[in-house]
Amino acid sequence: MSSSLIFFLLLSLLCPKFSSASHVITFRTSTPLQPSGLAWDPIAQHFVVGSITGPTVHAISDAGVVEHLLSDPSVAGASGSATSVAVDHIRRRLIVGFSNPGSIAAYDLKSYGRIFAAPLPEMDTIPGGVAVDLKSGEAFVSSTKRGVVWKVGLEGTVRVLLESKIFGDQGLGGVVHVSRGYLLVVQPETGKIFKVDSDDGAVKEVISSSSSKLLMPTGHAIALHRDLSLVVATNRSVLSVKSDDSWSQAAVPDKSELEEGKTAIAVAIREGIRAYVLVQRKEGYQIEEVAWEKESEGDMVWGFVLLGLGLAYFMCWRFQMGKLASNFNKKHE
């Protein structure tokens, strides 16, 4: 075997693959499904999406198999939409925000039978996001029409948690519940993030740290990582937003740009760690694992380190082989 061949074999073993290794789920349906909202069901091990084209909810497996879970025109009407979804895996409930008319409903995740359904006070609203307090089971719904957040009890009672002039005349988008007793909600038109007390509705804007610009134009969907950082979807990118002071200030330390022709619709966190984004493209829809830029840079660094080690090992091996051959030749002269 030639030395060159051995060297390239070493490279193939030692160097990581620099192509994208993120998990991509491509799915197609026989019905005109236009997915809206994204959640991960850790028990059933599949994603859950709503639909703009009807009051329906579907499951999507890792293999891209689409399963119809429920349709409830009696809540939203035949022309209604399931705009937002959230999974309460503790109580095995699925929380769905509907539009036309605006309403909130809960379903059993085994039978998909309805537990409760309740109209929102503003029935012409479109839910911007739904979040669940896994400890209490209470749900929270934001409105895309204006700056209001509703709190929904276990039995479906709805009350206004927050209605503030701090939002101006702009509505709200995605919302998440943090176990420390507050919500984080994003305002799509401005890209601002707000911290909301989940008990009394006290609200304040999360300001930018000195190291990064926080405003995220068209930021509309958010998900909460296990380390309490946020994953925020804008139209053309996914951002990681972190805070070191319980969300008085925050920064954007990492991001992931979408490929040309793709638009982010929603985000979800799988198993509390891995971020996934629902994207629309010309060919249809995909659910993609987010490949962060800094992680890719780290892989490149390790690749070059391993490449250097492989090259050093090869040169050492070649020197030893040359020395051995020279000694062998001397013995036979």
- pLDDT tens digit sequence for 4-59: 544 444 444 444 433 345 899 999 876 778 999 999 999 999 999 999 999 999 99
Residue 323 scores a pLDDT above 50 = yes
Residue 328 scores a pLDDT above 80 = no
- Taking residues 230-244, what's their average pLDDT? 93
Confidence band for 64, pLDDT divided at 50, 70 and 90 = very high
Query: How many DSSP H helices and E strands does the chain contain?
Result: 3, 25
pLDDT at 209: 78
Confidence band for 118, pLDDT divided at 50, 70 and 90 = very high
The residue count of the chain comes to 333
Residue 171 scores a pLDDT above 60 = yes
Would residue 64 be called left, alpha or beta, if left means φ above 0 and alpha means ψ between -120 and 50 degrees? left
What percent of the chain lies above the pLDDT cut of 70? 79
Structure tokens at 259: 């490929």
pLDDT at 37: 95
pLDDT at 294: 84
If you average pLDDT over every residue of the chain, what do you get?
A: 85
pLDDT at 314: 47
> Which of the two residues, 78 and 138, has the higher pLDDT score?
138
Which residue reads 């996934």 in tokens?
276
What percent of the chain lies above the pLDDT cut of 90? 71
- Farthest-apart Cα atoms in the chain, separation: 100
Residue 276 scores a pLDDT above 90 = yes
Residue 77 to residue 100: CA distance in whole angstroms: 7
Give Cβ neighbours of residue 104 (< 8 Å, ≥ 6 apart): 95, 96, 97, 98, 117, 118, 120, 127, 130, 139, 141, 150, 152, 156, 158
Residue 309 scores a pLDDT above 90 = no
